[in-house]
Each structure stands twice: as C-alpha cells, then as structure tokens.
C-alpha cells in the first residue's frame, strides 16, 4: 500500500508577513488588495478567520466583517523564495513531489528509505525542518492515497499532523461527512443530503449503478471515495490545464455593452501569455468568466468555438445573459491539450 504525505503551509502569505514583522502577530491580518480598489483577500491568519474572513473574499467586505482587519499587499517574490526552500526540504525525502501551489504539495514516499521508511517520521521531520529554517508552520497528513492525505492535513490545523493508517482507513472514511469528499461542492452535498446521505457510511450503502443514475459519471467516483479508494498517482510534472487573465474593475460594468468594450485589452494580455508557453500545447476551447456585483459568478466554455475576438464576444454575450446584472470581474482564457504542433500557430487567431 502506498504512503502519501500532503503538506500544507498554514496561512502561508500571512505567516510570512507575521514572521518578518512580529508586530503583526496576535491581530487580524490579511494579505490582499486594496479595499478601495475592489481588491480581494489572498489569505488571512486565524485571528481574521474568527471574524468570518476568508480567501477570495472582497477586501471591502472583509473589512465590514472585521473593521480592525489589517490588509497588507502581497510580496510574491518573498513567498516564492520561501516556497522554493520548502520544496528543497521535500526533495530530501523523495523525488515524487507534486506541488499544487506555492504552499502545498503531495509527496509519495512509498519507496523512500529516509527515517527507516516511516512516512510518519518523515512528516514530523519535515514539519520541524520548515519551522526551524523558515520560521513558519506547516500541517501534514499521512495516508495511503492523495484523497485521504489531503483531508488528514486539514484535520489538526494549524501546525498539526494526522496519520491515517491502513487498518484505520475504513472507520476514518465512514465517519466523514460527504462535504469532505473531493469534488463534492455545496450543490452536490445538498443533493446527497436530500437523498438521506450525510456521511460516507450512508453513502457506502448505495450501489454504484444507483449513484451513476443519480449523479452521472461522478457517481462512480462517489462510490470509490465512500470506500476510501483513490488511485490517482503523485504526478511530478503536471500538465498545464489552462491559461487565463482576469480583471476586477474599480466600478461595476453596468451592462453588456460595457463588458464587450472591456474584452480587447484582456484578449491582448491573453495572447501575450499564450505566446510565452512552450510549443507542447494546443488550444482546446475558449472560455469566459463573469463575476457579478453580488459575487455570484458563471464560466462559459465551448469546444469548437473560434479562439477569436468574435468568439469571445459571443461567449461573453451568453455568459452575461445568465446574470444580466452589473459585472465586477471579467476573465478570459483557453483550456489546453497536449499537441505536437506549436501553439504559436494558434495565436494567429488573435
């Protein structure tokens, strides 16, 4: 059976800010954009979370929840430097490392002989080394697969460690609420609850065919997760899935015409980013994302749609029709596939 460690830095950006300026400790702190310029919270410390402040929340709304909240601008160069140092520590234990972002990663240590092959001891040692060398804390989860390792890393946050041993797997999964399952969002969780399914123990009673009938192809995934099954490998070289750009506007775009007028500069930036990609990718389909003034959002993508200004205008028109109200953010992008032909050929469409 595999041995997977999921490591997650606690409040990563905020932790670095508190490390570098101890005066920030013990008070509500967030890293993000200016509330007066439609900024968004990137992350916050636990003092801020106690007030309901969360990542991806509008900074202005976060200040309403917590008037004493201090919001500092991000220092991405510093965060990347710390992330690289943490990744270097991981590399002392295995070459099978899958970074998910600057602050979290999966490690497959199944064949590692460090710490006499004990994944638990490796996780303990990694946590201590990060604390000693970088001055921040990380939480870790150890389990037989990625699904359970990620849940475990969140179990005793912050600065925690949770180990799910193979003989504990069945009982651990059975007690999980369905909301904890990978891929189960609010809507799917509510559907499950309406069917009388609140825990994985209840979900496990359903036949695979019945779950597929209710949830389509995702039903098969639910059947597996209810049993703690997750065969996904730790992927060392993750293929890029998409390229996109987005912009949050200081003033809401009041109507469709204003949204369409905002597209050209976004498409110019998108073309520039695509031009910097290596030639192993092919454009699969374009997409447009709109976030309305009430923070609801929609993303519309269409296989076979032209990757042209006209194609994006059509997608924007359709996406706007889903909300038909002022827009605070527009995003444009493309999904990517592997390809032998250079992506640069696709850029002629712009």
CATH of the domain at 55: 3.40.1170.60
| Catalytic residue flag (residue 104) | yes
Cα separation, 245 vs 286, whole angstroms: 12
Q: Locate 346 and state its tokens.
A: 């696709």
Asked, for residue 178, whether it belongs to a domain, the answer is yes
- 71 forms beta bridges with 30
Please say which residue of 197, 226, 255 terminates a domain. Answer: 226
Ligand-binding site membership of 20 (annotated): no
Per DSSP, the three-state class of 110 is coil
Q: Which domain holds residue 97?
A: 4-11+77-165
Q: How many CB atoms lie within 10 A of CB 193?
A: 14
pLDDT value, residue 269: 86
Asked, for residue 350, whether it belongs to a domain, the answer is no
Q: Which of 81, 104, 125, 220 is an active site residue?
A: 104
Per DSSP, the three-state class of 142 is strand
pLDDT value, residue 295: 81
Here the CATH number for the domain that contains residue 179 is: 1.10.150.20
In this structure, the answer to whether residues 250 and 320 fall within a common structural domain is yes
297-301 and 29-32: which strand pairing? unpaired
pLDDT value, residue 280: 62
Asked, for residue 233, whether it belongs to a domain, the answer is no
Asked, for residue 343, whether it belongs to a domain, the answer is no
Q: Locate 164 and state its tokens.
A: 């799910």
pLDDT value, residue 35: 83
Please say which residue of 125, 144, 165 terminates a domain. Answer: 165
Low-confidence ranges of the chain (pLDDT < 70): 238-239, 276-280, 338-350
Record the pTM.
0.71
Residues 211, 230 contacting (CB under 8 angstroms): no
Asked, for residue 232, whether it belongs to a domain, the answer is no
Query: Taking Cα atoms as reference points, which of 298, 300, 285 lies closest to residue 329?
Result: 298
Ligand-binding site membership of 21 (annotated): no
Counted domains in the chain: 4
Asked, for residue 237, whether it belongs to a domain, the answer is no
């Amino acid at each position: 059976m595999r041995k997977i460690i999921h490591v997650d830095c606690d409040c990563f950006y905020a932790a670095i800010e508190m490390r570098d300026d101890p005066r920030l400790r013990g008070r509500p702190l967030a890293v993000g954009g200016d509330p007066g310029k439609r900024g968004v919270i990137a992350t916050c410390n636990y003092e801020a979370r106690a007030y309901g402040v969360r990542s991806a929340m509008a900074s202005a709304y976060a200040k309403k929840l917590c008037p004493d909240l201090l919001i500092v601008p991000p220092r991405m160069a510093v965060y990347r430097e710390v992330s690289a140092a943490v990744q270097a520590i991981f590399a002392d234990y295995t070459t099978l490392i899958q970074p998910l972002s600057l602050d979290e990663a999966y490690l497959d240590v199944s064949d590692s002989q460090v710490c006499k092959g004990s994944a638990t001891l490796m996780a303990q040692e990694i946590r201590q080394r990060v604390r000693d060398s970088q001055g921040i804390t990380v939480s870790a989860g150890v389990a037989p697969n990625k699904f359970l390792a990620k849940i475990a890393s969140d179990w005793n946050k912050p600065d925690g460690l949770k180990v799910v041993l193979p003989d504990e797997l069945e009982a651990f999964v059975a007690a999980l609420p369905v909301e904890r399952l990978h891929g189960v969002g609010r809507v799917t969780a509510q559907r499950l609850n309406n069917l009388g399914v609140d825990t994985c123990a209840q979900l496990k009673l359903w036949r695979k065919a019945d779950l597929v009938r209710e949830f389509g192809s995702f039903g098969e995934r639910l059947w597996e997760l209810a049993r703690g099954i997750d065969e996904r490998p730790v992927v060392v070289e993750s293929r890029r899935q998409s390229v996109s750009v987005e912009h949050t506007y200081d003033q809401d775009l009041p109507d469709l015409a204003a949204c369409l007028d905002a597209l050209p500069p976004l498409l110019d930036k998108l073309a520039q980013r695509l031009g910097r990609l290596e030639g192993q990718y092919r454009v699969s389909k374009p997409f447009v994302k709109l976030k309305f003034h009430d923070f609801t959002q929609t993303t519309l993508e269409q296989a076979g749609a032209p990757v042209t200004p006209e194609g994006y205008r059509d997608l924007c028109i359709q996406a706007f029709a889903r909300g038909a109200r002022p827009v605070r953010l527009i995003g444009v992008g493309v999904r990517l596939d592997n390809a032998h032909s250079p992506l640069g050929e696709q850029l002629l469409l712009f």
